Structure 1
Amino acid sequence: MAATPKQPSPPTHRFRGQVYRAHHPRWAYLPTSGEGAARHGGRFNRPGRPALYTALDPTTAWMEAQQGLPFKAQPMTLVVYRIDCAGVADLTDPDVLDGIGIVPADLDCAWEDLADRGRDPPTWRIAEALIAADVRAAIVPSFAPGANAAPGTAIPRNLVFWQWSETPPCAVRAIDDFGRLPRDAASWD
C-alpha cells in the first residue's frame, strides 16, 4: 500500500467555479468553518486539522451530509460557494494518482474504523503529504453511500480544502446575496 505521495510537488491547477455543501441547519451561520472537521476528523483530515468538505454538485453534497442517516433524510441547509483557488490537486485523475504513488484503494479506505483502532488511515497520510507540498485543496471521489456514477457519467466528486479564506490564493465565499444565512448562534436560542 503506497499511502504517501512519492514526489513532493504533485501537479496542481486553479479551480474556478461553484461547489456545494449541505449543513446541519444549526451550523449554517458558519458556512466556511472547518472546525467540525477539525474536532472530529474526516476522511482527508486528522482531528486537529481544519478542513472544508464541499461537493462539485448539489446531489453529492446532499448524499455526503446524509451518510449517518441512510433511512431517514434529515433537514439540511444547502449552501453554494464561489471558488477561485490555486493549488488544487485532482485525485480523481488516474495519471495524477500514479504519478504521486497513490493507489485508489488508499482513498477508499475504512478511515473511521482505522482511526477508531488508533491507526492512521492512508488518507490522513496522503492529506498531510499534499499539505506539506503546498497543495491547498484536492478533488477526491465521493464515497458516500448511494453516490455512485450512473453509466456514462462522471464519478461524484468532492473538493476538500485545507487552506482557504475569502481572498486568493484560495478564495472560498458562500453565496448569500440576500442575507438568508443566520448571522450567529443566537438564531437558535
Structure 2
Amino acid sequence: MDYDGLLYRSLNPLYARQPLSGEGAARFGGRFNPKGTPTLYTALTVATAIREANQVGDLQPTTLVAYRAKITNLFDGREEAALARYDMTSKTLADPAWRETMRKGGRSLTQDFALALIAAGHPGLLVRSFARGARPDDLNIVLWRWTGKGARLTVVDDETRLA
C-alpha cells in the first residue's frame, strides 16, 4: 500500500534536533525493530503519537514533530491474510511479551517479522497502535527506510525551530 500525507512523532527531547535519525529506536530496540536497526515510529494522529511515546508510567517531556510523507510499498499489518504469509497474526503483533523476550537477550517474534519485511523490500509497516488507551483505529507507520527509492519523509519545520 502507499501513503501520502502527514505523520506525527513524539520524541524524547534528547533527540529533538535529530528528528530523522531513528537512533533512539536502534539503541534500545522496539516492538518492530531489534537493537541496531534504526527505525522511526510515527503515527497518523497527534494523540496516537503521544500515547506511543509514553507507554510506561506517567506523561514524560516530549517534543512533537510532524512529517510530510510519501511512501510506497508499505506492508499493511491490518490484513490477516498478508500477515499469515509471514507466519504472523494480529494477536502476536499485540503481544506485550515482546519487551521481556528482548530483555532476555533474544529477539521477539515481531522483531523477526520486521526483519523479514525489510528483507522483502518494504520500507515500513502500517499497524494499529498497541499503546495503553489506543483504539483499534489508532494507526502507526513504522519506518525502516525513510529516504531513497519509494520513501520520502521531510520534517515540517517551516520556521526552522529545530535548527
TM-score normalised per structure 1: 0.80
- Does the aligned pair in 2 maintain the 1:84–1:168 contact within 8 Å? no
Aligned-partner Cα distance in 1 for 2:18–2:139: 23
Aligned-partner Cα distance in 2 for 1:96–1:147: 23
Q: Deviations over 1:18-72 (max 9, x none)?
A: 1100112232111111111111100000001111110111100000111123xx3
> Number of paired residues?
162
Task: Verify: 1:24 aligned to 2:5, yes or no.
Answer: no
The aligned residue for residue 59 of structure 1 is 47
The aligned residue for residue 94 of structure 1 is 80
Structure 1 runs not aligned, ≥5 long? 1-12, 150-154, 184-189
Kindly report which structure 2 residues correspond to 1:36-185, keeping only aligned pairs within 5 A, or say none: 36-69=24-57, 72-109=58-95, 110-149=97-136, 155-165=137-147, 168-181=149-162, 183=163
The aligned residue for residue 8 of structure 1 is none
Partner SS for 2:41: strand
Q: Which has the larger radius of gyration?
A: 1
Aligned-partner Cα distance in 2 for 1:75–1:29: 15
Tell me the C-alpha RMSD between the 2 structures.
Answer: 1.5
Q: CA deviation at 1:108?
A: 1.4
- Does the aligned pair in 2 maintain the 1:43–1:123 contact within 8 Å? yes
Partner SS for 1:46: coil
Q: CA deviation at 1:14?
A: 1.8
Structure 2 runs not aligned, ≥5 long? none
Aligned-partner Cα distance in 1 for 2:149–2:155: 15
Q: CA deviation at 1:98?
A: 3.6
Partner SS for 1:87: coil
- Does the aligned pair in 1 maintain the 2:15–2:24 contact within 8 Å? no
Partner SS for 1:79: strand
Name the stretch that deviates more: 116-125 or 57-66: 116-125
Q: Give, as a single letter, the amino acid of the residue that structure 1 aligns with 2:126.
A: I
Q: Give, as a single letter, the amino acid of the residue that structure 2 aligns with 1:37.
A: A
- Does the aligned pair in 2 maintain the 1:139–1:158 contact within 8 Å? yes
TM-score normalised per structure 2: 0.92
Aligned-partner Cα distance in 1 for 2:46–2:79: 21
Name the stretch that deviates more: 82-91 or 113-122: 113-122
Aligned-partner Cα distance in 2 for 1:168–1:101: 27
Aligned-partner Cα distance in 2 for 1:68–1:80: 23
Aligned-partner Cα distance in 1 for 2:19–2:5: 17
Q: Give, as a single letter, the amino acid of the residue that structure 1 aligns with 2:151.
A: C
